[in-house]
Structure 1
Amino acid sequence: IEVDPSKIAAVQNWSAPKNPSEVRSFVGLAGYYRRFIEGFSKIALPLSQLTRKSVKFEWTDRCKSSFQELKRRLTTAPVLTIPDPSRSFTIYSDASSQLIREFARMRIQVIDALSTASTGSVNSMQVQPTMRERIRQEMASDEFIRTIDAKVRAGGVEDFHQGTDGALEFRGRIVVPKVEALRKEILSEANTAPYLAHPGSIKMYHDLKWSFWWRGLKKDVADFVRRCLTCQQVKAEHKSPIGLLRPLPILRWKWEEVAMDFVTGLPRSSEHHDAIWVV
């Protein structure tokens, strides 16, 4: 796969950033295509560090090298596309004791990408951080992560290390801080994404543990699936499927039957109540 030189001139002529805002714009563009750039995090690290509030902006040789290398990768990297079954394929495999990857490569027409750059105001544009970046940003709020991270910096802790972007990892998996909204989003994506379709607690746990780690992950997955009505209505091994809710029969006389229910998980009131008992 080749890139048409006339289509990528906007990237090739991109001038060096002069402030953190311009660095974010470039890294945001490059990050959109990170799946096509091997070792993206390591290459972009000098630029990513310039976007931190605590770091003084200084355009060093490392930053210049990172900037030029990303431009080169963006304008020469192959672009993935839907395969054409009428063409021939060559399969390349990469195997190890931990994982097996494979991808198909074939000759296709030149892809039109990165053809233009905005010449007007881009104040309304926002660069959304990736899930990994969001996790890394929230790590400082977790006391356990701060403790382990300090030990890693001091000399290392077995099974824990820092990734190329500074995020704490456990055996190659990013450590997710104890932030309820963040963990819930990860669990929800692993359970309800269209390409996963409620896989069940066992498969969902095995899918997540390849990329994420936190203490109690397996239990949190089981609890999440147990609360999912769709998952409970699908027949699981050693368990009958849950039935649909059915109304009670119409009573012939008052107080012939008494029913009660609980509504839990509500915001705590001024009197420290977070549930309702309905009779």
Structure 2
Amino acid sequence: MVVDALSRKEYSGHRVKTLSITIHSHLTSRIKGAQSESLKPKNDVNETLRGMDKNLEAKDDETYYFMNRIWVPKFGGFRELVMNETHKTRYSIHPGFDKMYLDLKQHYWWPNMKAEIATYVGKCLTSAKVKVEYQKPSGLLQQLVIPEWK
């Protein structure tokens, strides 16, 4: 048993896992359509899979997966949409690059994913304003008045 010195509460050593919210939308069915369009020979030029297309596998719902993660094609702008939904919804509260990448890589995959997420988060003005290095200092610290006992 561990006692927290500041709050004087006892903790039994059990860790609490944070709440994970998954928002289901029609995004997967729309991505499936973009995948089939992207794999057509006329649109294949825009995709830079660099030989990874051999590792894509179609599941029962005809959606292509890479290592059990949904492949998000460049065709149709779905990468931006997925990043936008992950970063700017009211449930995510503008996560940083690392958190956003770890959340997205559980479900989605595309080539150069980590670098694209870093660029996307770097362009977000709200995230840039919240960073510590851009905050104004609150001013000089002032000592509290020490009460005198009568």
What TM-score range do you get, normalising by the shorter chain? 0.5 to 0.7
Tell me which residue corresponds to 1:241: 134
Gaps of 5+ in 2: 1-16, 18-24, 39-43, 137-150
Matched, 1:192 2:88: yes
3-state SS in 1 of match to 2:65? strand
Relative distance call for 1:140 and 1:148 in structure 2 (3 A) is farther
Does structure 2 conserve the Cα–Cα contact (< 8 Å) formed by 1:139 and 1:177?
yes
Identity of matched residues, %: 32
> CA–CA distance in 2 between the matches of 1:230 and 1:208?
20
Q: Indicate how the Cα distance of structure 1 residues 197 and 136 shifts in structure 2: closer, same or farther if over 3 A, else same.
A: same
Which residue in the other structure is 1:205 paired with?
Answer: 101
**Structure-to-structure mapping, 1:84-103, within 5 angstroms:** none
CA shift at 1:148, angstroms? 5.9
What TM-score, normalized to structure 1?
0.34
SS in 1 for 2:91: coil
Counterpart residue number, 1:126 = none
In 2 relative to 1, CA 179–216 (structure 1 residues): closer, same or farther, beyond 3 Å?
same
More relative contact order in 1 or in 2 (CA 8 Å, sep 6+)? 2
SS state of the match for residue 169, structure 1? strand
* Structure 1 contact 141–177 (Cα < 8 Å) conserved: no
1:174 pairs, out of 65, 70, 77, with 70
Aligned length: 104
Deviation at 1:141, TM superposition (A): 3.0
Identify the residue that residue 30 of structure 2 maps to in structure 1: 134
